[in-house]
Amino acid sequence: MSSKSPVRSCDDVDESVLSYAEIKALCAGNPLIKERMDLDIEVARLKLLKSSYQNQRYRLEDNILKYFPQQIKRTKNYIEGYKSDIKRIESNTHLPDEGISPMIVVNTEYKNRSEAGTAIIEAGKKLKPADFVKIGEYRGFEMQIKYTLFSDSFEMNLKGNMSYRIDLGSDGAGNITRINNALKEIPDIVKEKQRELEDLYAQIKNAEEELKNPFQYEEELNEKIQRLAFLDTQLNLDNKDSNSIGNNDKVKEEYAKTKPSILQTIKEKKQIIEKQKNNIGKQPDIIL
Q: What digits encode the pLDDT tens for the residues 57-114?
A: 999 999 999 999 999 999 999 999 999 999 999 999 988 777 899 999 999 999 999 9
268 assigned to some structural domain: no
- Give CA–CA dist 132/161, Å, rounded: 17
261 assigned to some structural domain: no
- Give CA–CA dist 42/54, Å, rounded: 18
135 assigned to some structural domain: yes
203 assigned to some structural domain: no
What phi, psi does 18 have (nearest 5°)? -65, 135
Q: How many residues does the chain have?
A: 288
What phi, psi does 109 have (nearest 5°)? -90, 135
The domain in which residue 126 lies consists of 93-186
pLDDT at res. 74: 97
Give the torsion sign (CA, 251, 257, 258, 260). positive
Pairing of strands 153-159, 103-105: unpaired
115 assigned to some structural domain: yes
pLDDT at res. 153: 83
Tens of pLDDT along the chain (288 residues) come to 444 444 444 444 444 445 555 455 445 567 888 888 889 899 999 999 999 999 999 999 999 999 999 999 999 999 999 999 999 999 999 887 778 999 999 999 999 999 999 999 999 888 887 788 999 999 999 999 998 877 778 899 999 999 999 999 889 899 999 999 999 999 999 999 999 999 999 999 999 999 999 999 999 999 999 999 998 888 775 444 444 444 445 444 544 444 445 555 555 655 665 665 565 555 544 443
pLDDT at res. 7: 43
pLDDT at res. 252: 44
pLDDT at res. 79: 97
pLDDT at res. 25: 44
Q: What is the mean pLDDT of the chain?
A: 80
Give the torsion sign (CA, 75, 80, 82, 83). positive
138 assigned to some structural domain: yes
pLDDT at res. 101: 93
**Cβ distance 154 to 144 under 8 Å?**
no
pTM greater than 0.75 (yes/no):
no
142 assigned to some structural domain: yes
Report the number of distinct structural domains present in the chain: 1
120 assigned to some structural domain: yes
